[in-house]
Structure 1
């Protein structure tokens, strides 16, 4: 495996034309030992999970801060977590917990999480734009990682962020590196149906998003499952994407072929091959099945998989209202079951050491409970979990003040999170790529790897 390092001096020496032609033309590659992580699975808890009601409880804080939940001991002596995370409490010694994720980006999309850039604004960066910074998987694929011959290198489940409708949230895309590096998006009918409820169900604790991810659709009527021959597929994809840019269209067509003609890819998407007990272990809802499918895709050879937990009507962690009932009945059971099942499953299959699993969200929630029994946005403090792929299990990194409002030591930025991922997959976190003006841009946006959670 080669370590790809691109510096500002490389770009100045190579010239703008070489930079425009891609990093491969200007990169300096130096041999290094094979990186620990061969694949990456990001579980993105859309909406912003409450850190104080999960992995950083404050049982001695005033009632309006500590909330309604008690705490339970964990596998790590002296550390306690929310009482509604019993499975993960027993496994806290098998993953690293960061309690001091702190950044500036107060917005509901995975832009900061997936790029490491936290300087975005809703007015310009809420929706995906060609000038956005690229996601971590995009950068890695641009630098030559995750390019398979029979499987896509980068898949997003259960569907595109934004309910797969008109809203196209920033974060997972190629940005200024180009649409050729966009992920392959699965589709989930339950993810976008309007008859599942209206706004009154947004904070419901009695409805769980159902369904499961399926092979992508190229438009509203064309499913890869319905296509029969390679020639017909090529014709229909060409027609469906005629208005798109040629470079991006060619890449998307190749990814569609990967899924359609590869028995391995189609078998990976077939959740019916899993025993009922395994499916039940991950959880019967849309997101539990998405995490199970993510494991199947990693096992089949996909390098980057993201599960983005957004669906109608209440598939989110944006708990301004009814925080405690939503967490108790919907959100925490999903996280507890799916993440613990994933840890066990990867370990049993011999994949955990080579698979980096990252769990985080848009932001944390306010320390003080509001008048609607909810917690509001709080990017100043949140959590991140790292497992497998060269990370150090049983680490609890960073402490916060008495009400979990701010880090008191070891703050971890969005850039630090992505720099850690880059380091573990063998990409130099100090590398640069050309932006839309061919100016070299730091891929970690000033971030540094969190060495405390790395082996």
Structure 2
């Protein structure tokens, strides 16, 4: 399916197209097919999609509503930002200092108040992961570096003892009908999967094995044509990944120790703050991993990856019930590592001159209700959700 044909399938709905293409930076991604229909050219730009799974509160982040009635305002009050006249919730002091480098959209809505994966995987994306759309347009790997186009990062990506993708609300790796070759690559931390990406054979022997596989693949498989094409592409992707030495980009031990320390959110691992909740494991895993996940995302984009999803492991659902913390305690547990890690990312990317190369999008599947419930939590609200953008030539 040609790249532009995919967008033709979104029912001619202009608003839907703008939702999808705006998040992807589609004008750049689609700008590469030559007159002969050759493979699309890469622009050298990347997207990091920071998925605040659970649904972040707009009030306790970037829209504290200081002039609203007391029962609607941020429970933390406000703090001034580096943009005159703009205030954030007072629990976001580090992001407030770099507000002039970001764009906050206060009118964004996902259109749903359900715990699914929108806008990352939704009807608007034809049930395909946004990164899978990019992979369909420009190919599964960078042909020069071997870097996967589409990568999904979860706590397990930086620590094999932590959680992988949560599957309760949908499949992060869904490709719709785009084919298996567009699936996101899901690294598994420092365990066997990362080791498997390293080249333990000579290039000549690996080439011999490629030829052997090619010969065996001529045997008729009991798969339909589309599945065969997907598997062939996956095999090519695996060889390209290994030969490209991609494991180096995934290995944080190659990063400067001072940079790792700047991103690190492990100091926010405070079990006494969440041990009374059923969701306690996820709070802990998020605190241990968020900073390193953003650092890893930056490394991957710097090495040539085009679309990286970072998931926060479903910690933003703040009903104040048996499972989840309420807003005041929850934003201490979840908001502080977010403020720390994202501000570190922004400062790091700016210092490296990468701000025009990498677009970071931070949002969740919905927002939270204007009024607190009687337990001090905020419930689901699909009519508004916080949205932060950084870089990509937009900020």
TM-based fold match above 0.5:
yes
Structure 1 pair 166–116 and aligned structure 2 pair: CA distance change class (3 A): closer
CA offset at residue 268 of structure 1? 0.8
Q: Residue 43 of structure 1 is aligned with which of 47, 50, 63?
A: 50
CA offset at residue 327 of structure 1? 3.7
Answer yes or no: is the 8 Å Cα contact 2:249–2:300 preserved in 1: yes
- CA RMSD for the aligned pairs? 3.7
State how far apart, in whole Å, the 2-side matches of 1:243 and 1:168 are: 31
Structure 1 pair 259–371 and aligned structure 2 pair: CA distance change class (3 A): farther
CA offset at residue 364 of structure 1? 0.4
CA offset at residue 232 of structure 1? 11
CA offset at residue 36 of structure 1? 7.6
Say whether 1:346 aligns with 2:318.
Answer: no
Unmatched tracts of structure 2, length 5 or more: 12-29, 158-162, 267-287
Q: How many residues align?
A: 322
Structure 2 match to 1:289: 292
Structure 1 pair 77–243 and aligned structure 2 pair: CA distance change class (3 A): farther
Answer yes or no: is the 8 Å Cα contact 2:134–2:150 preserved in 1: no
Structure 2 match to 1:154: 150
State how far apart, in whole Å, the 2-side matches of 1:359 and 1:8 are: 27
State the secondary structure of the residue aligned to 2:120: helix
Q: Residue 137 of structure 1 is aligned with which of 110, 127, 131?
A: 131
TM-score normalised over the length of structure 2: 0.71
State how far apart, in whole Å, the 1-side matches of 2:49 and 2:257 are: 24
Answer yes or no: is the 8 Å Cα contact 2:140–2:182 preserved in 1: no
Answer yes or no: is the 8 Å Cα contact 1:288–1:334 preserved in 2: yes
Structure 2 match to 1:190: none
Structure 2 match to 1:318: 317
CA offset at residue 274 of structure 1? 2.0
Structure 2 match to 1:425: none
TM-score normalised over the length of structure 1: 0.62
CA offset at residue 88 of structure 1? 0.8
State the secondary structure of the residue aligned to 1:100: coil
Structure 2 match to 1:397: none
Q: Report 1:232-381 matches (<5 A).
A: 245-263=227-245, 265-283=246-264, 284=266, 285-310=288-313, 315-321=314-320, 322-381=325-384
Answer yes or no: is the 8 Å Cα contact 1:279–1:292 preserved in 2: yes
Structure 1 match to 2:116: 109
State how far apart, in whole Å, the 2-side matches of 1:389 and 1:165 are: 29
State the secondary structure of the residue aligned to 2:107: strand
State the secondary structure of the residue aligned to 1:385: strand
Structure 2 match to 1:182: 183
State how far apart, in whole Å, the 2-side matches of 1:215 and 1:248 are: 26
Q: Report 1:18-167 matches (<5 A).
A: 38-110=45-117, 112-115=118-121, 117=123, 132-144=126-138, 147-149=141-143, 150-158=146-154, 163-164=164-165, 167=168
